[in-house]
Amino acid sequence: MSGPAIPSLPAKERLILELLIRDAELYGLELVAVSKGRLKRGTVYVTLGRMEEKGFIFSHLEDAPTDQGGVPRRIYEPTAFGRRVLKAYAHVSRTLTPEPAR
């Protein structure tokens, strides 16, 4: 008898969820900037795509700025499922972290 698979949450994905929950919605390069060097431009979009497939985040295309002639940006937001997974992983890591020796 097997139940649903427990989702994995690698450190990069955990960081992205934490940043998105803190800031509500960000686009890829904003995530790189607010991560203060912990996320890299070359891998952030691959990670975001994987997270969207897992159901941790969703995205939508923002209209291009009309006055600046820019291109549309993909905006990412956490899903309720992503929030629950992060909360569960935080609880498990607190519970399983050894207490300091006295």
Tell me which DSSP letter residue 72 carries: -
- Give the Cα separation of 86 and 102 in Å (integer): 30
β-sheet with 26-27: strand ranges across: 26-27, 73-78, 57-62
Helix (H) or strand (E) holding 48: helix 41-54
Residue 4, pLDDT score: 65
Q: What is the CATH number of domain 11-94?
A: 1.10.10.10
Residue 2, pLDDT score: 63
Residue 58, pLDDT score: 96
Overall pTM surpassing 0.85 (yes/no): no
Q: Tell which residue, 18, 50, 16, 21, has the closest CA to residue 32.
A: 16
Domain boundaries, the chain: 11-94
* pLDDT tens-place values along the chain, 102 residues long: 566 677 788 999 999 999 999 998 999 999 999 999 999 998 999 999 999 999 999 999 988 777 767 788 899 999 999 999 999 888 877 777 666 766
- Give the Cα separation of 30 and 81 in Å (integer): 22
74, 67 contact by CB (below 8 A): no
